[in-house]
Structure formats: C-alpha cells, structure tokens
C-alpha cells in the first residue's frame, strides 16, 4: 500500500484539525469530510423548530429524520444542504455554537449519525475530521492523527479568527465558552474526546500550520513510503 485509505483527524476545537485536513486532502488529492457539520445540522434544525435541545429523545428523532444532504465539492469542502438549500454558513452562527456540544452529547444522536459518517468514510481516499473518528466511527482508519493545544492557545486562535471575520467578541468570552464546550465534549459518557491508542499525537502549541503539516507528512511518508500525489519519474529513459 502506498497511501492511507482513510485519514482520521481528531482533537478539541481550534486545535488545527481543519487547516491540516484541507492541506492533506489537497496534497493527496483526497476528499475532506468535516463530521462536526452533522451535529451542527441537528442543532440548527432544532433551533429552527424551537425544540428542547436537552431532550434526548426529541433530538435523536430529529437526527434520524433530518433532511440533510452532504455534498463534497471538487475543492474538498463539505457543503450541507438542509431542507433543499445550502445552509452551510448558518451552521456556524453563535447560537449553533452555543448549543452544539449539548446536542452532540446525546448518545441517541451520536448513534443516529454514525452510519452516514461511516458510509462516507469507507468510500476511502478521504480525510475525516471530528472528535471520535479514530476511536468510534472508523477505528479501522489506517492513519490516525490527534491534534491538541492548550486552552489558551486555542482560544486565542478562535478569537483572532472571529476578529478577522469582523465579529465583536472578547478573548475572555471565547475562552470561557471554549472551556465549557471542552468540558462537555470530554466528559460525555458516549464517545468522549480522547486519542485512539494507535493515533499519532501532536501538540500544536506554538507551531505554524506549515510545521504541523510537515510533521504529519513526515509520519505519513514513514508509514506509507510512497505517499506523494505525484508519481516519481520513471528510472528508464
């Protein structure tokens, strides 16, 4: 085998998963699937309907019956179509941000969303990003990466990103919200956030996106000696 079939990337919010996944997908010519959009889609639909997001039975039913279509574009983005239209941008509203960890902690919701994630991942040639990809969704993934960084560093990255997008937030707010979401993601009974035993773990504190990418490519070249997109030139003339 010269390339991994499935690359699983897990880790907490703002640990650098999406940036790394995009770059790997581009370098290898793979699709990129961000599984967080599914939990966000259920949260979005529940908010639209004015449902009680703490009610596991209601949220599970919603997850099972959700009219959602995922489209992975040529450039590797995951677009989310809900009720017949592209709702991708709305999934990142502050309201969805505030509730999504609560919805994602319901075991019934996780079970309901498992099959669709597995089916997409098993198509192969894909980089799958989430919290439990290497441990629960596709434990058979042949390259697992777990990115981490301190709460302060991750909050600073999110804060800077929000400011760049013109949102008026304070660093304290972002830090507080992230700590709350971290605690929910890590303490939930089903599929809590943790690295798979066979994952490569990288602390990204102080590392640039380039450095993270290079480190992961090094690991990958070692594990899959021909993992470059471009074939080597033929030795014969």
**Binding-site member from 148, 153, 177, 185 for ligand DC (CB under 6 A):** 185
Can residue 36 be called a binding residue for ligand DC (CB under 6 A)?
yes
Of 31, 36, 33, 29, the C-alpha closest to 13 is 36
**Binding-site member from 21, 132, 155, 202 for ligand DC (CB under 6 A):** 132
CB of residue 193 to ligand DC, shortest distance in Å: 7
What track of x and - describes contact with ligand DC for positions 111 through 130 (by CB under 6 A)? -------------------x
Can residue 13 be called a binding residue for ligand DC (CB under 6 A)?
yes
Cβ-based nearer residue to ligand DC, 33 or 227: 33
- C-alpha distance across the termini of the chain, in Å: 26
Can residue 39 be called a binding residue for ligand DC (CB under 6 A)?
yes
Can residue 135 be called a binding residue for ligand DC (CB under 6 A)?
no
Of 156, 154, 133, the C-alpha closest to 143 is 133
DSSP 8-state class, residue 83: T
Measured distance CA(100)–CA(231) in Å, rounded: 42
For 52, other C-beta atoms within 10 Å of its C-beta total 10
- Which of these ranges, 47-55, 100-108, 140-148, 149-157, lies near ligand DC under the rule CB under 6 A? 100-108
What single string gives the DSSP state of each residue in 91-116? GGSHHHHHHHHHHHT-HHHHHHHHHH
Can residue 106 be called a binding residue for ligand DC (CB under 6 A)?
no
- Which of these ranges, 50-58, 62-70, 97-105, 207-215, lies near ligand DC under the rule CB under 6 A? 97-105
CB of residue 235 to ligand DC, shortest distance in Å: 43
| Angstrom distances, CA of residue 159 to CA of 14, 16, 103, 182, 211 | 10, 14, 24, 16, 21
Residues lying near ligand DC in the complex (CB under 6 A): 13, 35-36, 39-40, 100-101, 104, 130-132, 181, 185
């Amino acid at each position: 085998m010269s390339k991994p079939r499935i690359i699983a990337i897990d880790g907490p919010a703002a640990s650098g998963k999406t940036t790394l996944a995009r770059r790997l997908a581009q370098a290898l010519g793979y699709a990129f699937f961000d599984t967080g959009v599914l939990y966000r889609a259920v949260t979005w639909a529940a908010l639209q309907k004015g449902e009680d997001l703490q009610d596991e039975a209601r949220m599970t039913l919603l997850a099972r019956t959700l009219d959602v279509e995922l489209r992975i574009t040529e450039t590797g983005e995951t677009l989310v179509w809900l009720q017949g239209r592209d709702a991708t941008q709305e999934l990142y509203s502050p309201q969805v941000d505030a509730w999504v960890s609560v919805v994602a902690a319901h075991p019934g919701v996780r079970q309901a969303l498992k099959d669709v994630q597995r089916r997409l991942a098993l198509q192969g040639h894909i980089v799958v990003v989430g919290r439990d990809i290497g441990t629960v969704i596709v434990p058979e993934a042949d390259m697992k990466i777990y990115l981490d960084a301190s709460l302060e560093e991750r909050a600073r990255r999110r804060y800077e990103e929000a400011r760049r997008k013109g949102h008026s937030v304070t660093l304290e707010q972002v830090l507080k919200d992230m700590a709350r979401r971290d605690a929910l993601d890590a303490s939930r009974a089903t599929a809590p956030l943790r690295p798979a035993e066979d994952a490569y773990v990288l602390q990204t504190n102080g590392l640039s996106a380039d450095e993270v990418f290079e480190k992961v490519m090094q690991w990958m070249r070692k594990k899959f000696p021909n993992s470059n997109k471009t074939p080597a030139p033929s030795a014969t003339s």
